[in-house]
């Protein structure tokens, strides 16, 4: 996808603060962090959201999920972290290239506020 923001980051056309990279996955810090540590894992292949994921993506998604705690620990999140996957407009997704947020450090509020 030539005009996809995260594809451009994956191709190195837009700079990022890289956390990890291999043939299939790129991990970089969020430009607008919501906590002291906030990075995102993306596949290098364009996958718009979790709604477009199919059986062929199972190994890649599993690899990304297993990478998250390793990188979280490397970033100092020894006490835990939050993973977030916003899916589709209904899920608040803003960049339509699948990504897993890893968020932690400081105090993490309850995920859903109940009044």
- Report the interface residues with ligand 5GP, using CB under 6 A: 5, 14, 16, 28, 30-32, 86, 92-95
| Smallest separation, CB 99 to ligand 5GP (Å) | 6
- The single residue among 29, 46, 63, 82 that binds Zn ion, judged by CB under 5 A, is 46
Alpha helices in 1-115 (DSSP H): 5-10, 58-74
The rounded distance, in Å, linking the Cα atoms of 55 and 2 is: 25
Tokens at 58, concatenated: 């199972």
List active site positions.
Answer: 99
The percent helix, strand, coil of the chain (3-state, each to 5) is 30, 20, 50
Residue 30 binding partner per list Zn ion, ligand 5GP, none, with a CB distance cut-off of 5 to 8 Å that depends on partner kind? ligand 5GP
| Closest C-alpha to 32, from 110, 95, 107 | 95
Q: Can residue 1 be called a binding residue for Zn ion (CB under 5 A)?
A: yes
Q: Based on CB atoms, which residue is closest to Zn ion, 23 or 114?
A: 23
Which residues contribute to the site for Zn ion (CB under 5 A)? Answer: 1, 4, 6-7, 46, 97
């Amino acid at each position: 996808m030539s005009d996809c923001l995260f594809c451009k980051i994956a191709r190195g056309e837009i700079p990022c603060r890289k956390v990890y990279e291999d043939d299939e996955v790129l991990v970089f810090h969020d430009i607008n962090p919501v906590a002291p540590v906030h990075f995102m894992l993306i596949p290098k292949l364009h996958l718009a959201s979790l709604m477009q994921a199919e059986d062929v993506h199972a190994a890649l998604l599993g690899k990304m999920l297993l990478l998250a705690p390793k990188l979280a620990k490397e970033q100092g999140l020894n006490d835990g972290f939050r993973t977030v996957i916003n899916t589709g407009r209904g899920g608040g997704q803003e960049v339509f290239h699948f990504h897993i947020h890893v968020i932690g450090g400081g105090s993490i509020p309850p995920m859903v506020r109940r009044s």
